[in-house]
Each structure stands twice: as C-alpha cells, then as structure tokens.
Amino acid sequence: MSATLPAHSAGLGLRRALLDELIEAPAGAFDFLECAPDNWIGVGGALGERLARLSARHPLSCHGLSLSLGGPDPLDLELLRQTRAFLDRHRAVLYSEHLSYCAAGGHLYDLLPLPFTEEAVRHVAARIRQAQDVLGRRIAIENVSTYAIPAAEMDEATFVRAVLEDADCDLLLDVNNVYVNAANHGFDAHAYIAAMPAARIVAYHVAGHYDEPDGLKIDTHGTAVKDAVWELLGFAYATHGVRPTLLERDFHFPPLPVLLDEVARIRALQAAA
C-alpha cells in the first residue's frame, strides 16, 4: 500500500462523466481523486485506459458501494479479492466503505440503515474485521445518511464509536451526512462530530443535499455544498484537525471550474484551520 495522503489535501470524485475534463485539468487543480472500485473492476478498453492514466498521475482513494458490511448475507469474498487486486493495481491510498447494508438475499441497490443495537455492533464489527483480513489493509467506515432507524438502543454517534472500537477500523467522517441526519432526526450535528474519536478519522467527505418543502433533507450528491455544511466542516477541522477531504458530486455536473471552486473552498478551510 502506498503512503497516505497529506492532511491538507482536497480531492474530487472520479466519475465517468468527468473523465475527459479530469484528464485535461490543470496541474494542481485537485490533490487526489476518489472512485468506487465496484464500478470499475473488470472495465477495460478506452474507459479503463483513462482510469489508468488518471491513477498514474494522481493519488487514488477508493470508496466501496457493494460490500454490505452490515448485511445478513455472507461477505462476497470474490468481490473482496477483486477489490484488493484493484486497490493494489492502482496504488490506492485509502479504502472506505459504508456503515450500512445493501444486500439481503440479493442486491438491494441502496444503502440501508443498521439498527443501533449491541447485536448490530458485534455483527458488523466482525464482518469489518473479516473484510480487513481479506483486503490486507484497514477499512475506513463512513457514517451514512438515514431517513428511518430500524431500532435504537443507543444514539448514532455512540453506535459509530462502538463499531470503530470493536472492529479496530478507521472512520471516514461524512460531514454532509451528519448534517442531514441531525436535521432529519433532531440531534445536534456539532455534538455528534465532537463525539467522534479523532485518532480514527482518516478523511472527510462533503457533498450537496436537497431540502424538501417539509424540512426533510435528502442526501443527493447532486448540488453544491450548502453553507451550513461548510461551517460544519470547519468545525470538524477545528475539533479534530485537518484531514484529506473529498468533494462528492454524482450527477447534475456543472462545468469543472465550478467544482474546482468548491475544491478551492476546502483548501481555504484547511488553511484557515
């Protein structure tokens, strides 16, 4: 595994719709790129060649979508082996996955919430440890956006901390997801972030969300980052320190210079911290 990213680094999601623009981007426009290995494993031809060009030129972080770390089905060992080969081939500097599940007797094509229970802590932590053994590297789990909780013996922050400790893994702290969940479930976003264990935070994500008329927040990754989320990112830096930070954008792409303005805002917050 290659060296980790510098703490003061700002990245951009590597999406197929942006491939040509990313290849042509000016030097220094971003510090790293992030892709989902699940969407690239086995991809060759012109697309595979473009990915290889970008990963040879820029540090690559990888963010999985399909492991279903909290699910009831056995872990997909073949996917884990393919992921390990992908990470090694592209010298990935970080691998993260979601603290959720997406398969139960078949793939569900969504990131579904886990119950905040002791049983769920033990279940998902054991699967994270198994996945780390197969991958030969640590996983950073990401807190996910939720709209309903199946059961709760504890609050979300306590659940996340318990999984991190039991699994002995790292945390990718998604600041937008904290903001969305705090609004949807009525907790204090700043207190949640303050409760996270700084020593386990290896990176941050920021993204845009949609405000429903009734006040519900929907994590879309399809719009610009809101001012309240930028403020929360600054608070995270002040509380836990600067870490590599990724701007996530999955659709409704503006021109690349607009995205790079948001990358520059990450850099400005990092410098101010």
Read off the pLDDT of residues 174-191 as tens digits, 9 standing for 90 and up. 999 999 999 999 999 999
Tokens of 118: 């002791």
Q: Predicted confidence band at 109 (pLDDT cuts at 50, 70, 90)?
A: low
Return the pLDDT at 104.
76
CA atoms within 13 A on the CB side of 199: 5
State mean pLDDT over 91-98: 97
Return the pLDDT at 108.
64
Task: Tell me, letter by letter, the H, E, C secondary structure of the chain.
Answer: CCCCCCCCCEEEECCHHHHHHHHHCCCCCCCEEEECHHHCCCCCHHHHHHHHHHHHHCCEEEECCCCCCCCCCCCCHHHHHHHHHHHHHCCCCEEEEECCEEECCCEEEEEECCCECHHHHHHHHHHHHHHHHHHCCCCEEECCCCCCCCCECCCHHHHHHHHHHHHCCEEEEEHHHHHHHHHHHCCCHHHHHHHCCHHHEEEEEEECEEECCCCCEEECCCCCCCHHHHHHHHHHHHHHCCCCEEEECCCCCCCHHHHHHHHHHHHHHHHHC
Return the pLDDT at 80.
98
Q: Predicted confidence band at 106 (pLDDT cuts at 50, 70, 90)?
A: confident
Asked whether the beta carbons of 37 and 87 are under 8 A apart, the reply is yes
Q: Predicted confidence band at 70 (pLDDT cuts at 50, 70, 90)?
A: very high
CA atoms within 13 A on the CB side of 11: 28
State mean pLDDT over 145-159: 95
Domains and CATH numbers, the chain: 10-272 (3.20.20.150)
Asked whether the beta carbons of 243 and 6 are under 8 A apart, the reply is no
Indicate if the pLDDT at residue 1 is higher than 70.
no
Read off the pLDDT of residues 207-251 as tens digits, 9 standing for 90 and up. 999 999 988 999 999 999 999 999 999 999 999 999 999 999 999
Return the pLDDT at 121.
98
Q: Can you tell me the distance from the alpha carbon of 104 to that of 71, in angstroms, rounded to the nearest whole number? A: 6
Read off the pLDDT of residues 15-58 as tens digits, 9 standing for 90 and up. 999 999 999 999 999 999 999 999 999 999 999 999 999 999 99
Closest CA to 86 of 128, 45, 137: 137
Q: Can you tell me the distance from the alpha carbon of 206 to that of 226, in angstroms, rounded to the nearest whole number? A: 9
